[in-house]
Amino acid sequence: MLNNHFFDLLDSVDSTNNYAMAQINTGFAKDGTAYFTKLQTKGKGQQGKFWQSAVEKNILLSVVFEMESLKLANAFEFNMLVAITTRAFFQKYVEEKVTIKWPNDIFWCDRKAGGILIENVFSGTTWKWAVVGIGININQTDFEAELKNPISLQLITKKEYEVIDLAKQLHQQLLANITAYKKGELANIVQQYNNFLFKKEKKVKLKKGTIAFETTIKHVDEKGMLHCEDVMEREFRFGEVEWVL
């Protein structure tokens, strides 16, 4: 396993994913290196959304991985592994079940505790690098009004945490699991992901375009398609529908 000298501590960046991508582009990135910042000025979320975080309160982390040993067909399975690892990390500190809201948000009791954004570098059909960006609410207790149902570890447990120490723990767990995955030592990743799928077998409201509808969440397949059931069986790719929570 790689050691903590692969953990770079930054005071402020626009986005840890942007910083990590720049390290790749300039040839300075090393497999498994983590970039942690105390402040993000333009944090990135899914689908171009902004990830908000108070200064020095939360985990703002990006880890770079060389991916040439894996095929593009493994891309969502890799996403699932990152989500499983992040979920398990948060679960260690709380009693209630932590779930994964498709495709990769971390939820505690219907409230969002963290999010994952993976950005990739390709050369032709070769998967060169993955930048795994993770934001987890740790010590923040006040959130912007427009955020939907945010929660933090401190709000749940009433305890304060050493954010950098927690980030290093998460980094080491990612290194261990992804190293094992590259060696073919991990199995049943899709099953594990679905074991913790948010609202599995429950009726939810989704929205496609301007149309909202109720459906029951069934499972997510290895390609990342969300399977649902109501008057008929349905499947959706990421970005095709949005949750109405």
Average pLDDT by consecutive 10-residue portion of the chain (245 residues)? Answer: 71 94 96 95 60 84 96 94 98 97 96 96 94 97 86 98 98 97 94 98 96 97 97 94 89
Rg (CA), the chain: 18
Quick one: tokens of 112? 């969002």
Q: Which pLDDT score is estimated for 1?
A: 43
What CATH fold (topology level) applies to the domain 4-195? BirA Bifunctional Protein; domain 2 (3.30.930)
Q: Which pLDDT score is estimated for 2?
A: 45
In degrees, rounded to 5, the angle at the alpha carbon of residue 219 between the alpha carbons of residues 216 and 221 is 145
**The whole model's pTM is what?**
0.93
Collect contacts of 215-224 with beta carbons under 8 A, ≥24 apart.
217/102, 219/194, 220/80, 220/102, 220/103, 220/190, 220/193, 220/194, 221/190, 222/76, 222/77, 222/190, 223/76, 224/76, 224/79, 224/103
What residue has token string 């993000």? 40
Closest CA to 214 of 226, 225, 228: 228
Neighbour tally for 115: CB within 10 Å: 23
Q: Which pLDDT score is estimated for 219?
A: 98
Q: Which pLDDT score is estimated for 49?
A: 57
Q: Which pLDDT score is estimated for 127?
A: 96
> Any residues with CB less than 8 A from the CB of 158 and at least 6 apart, and which?
none
What residue has token string 């809201």? 101
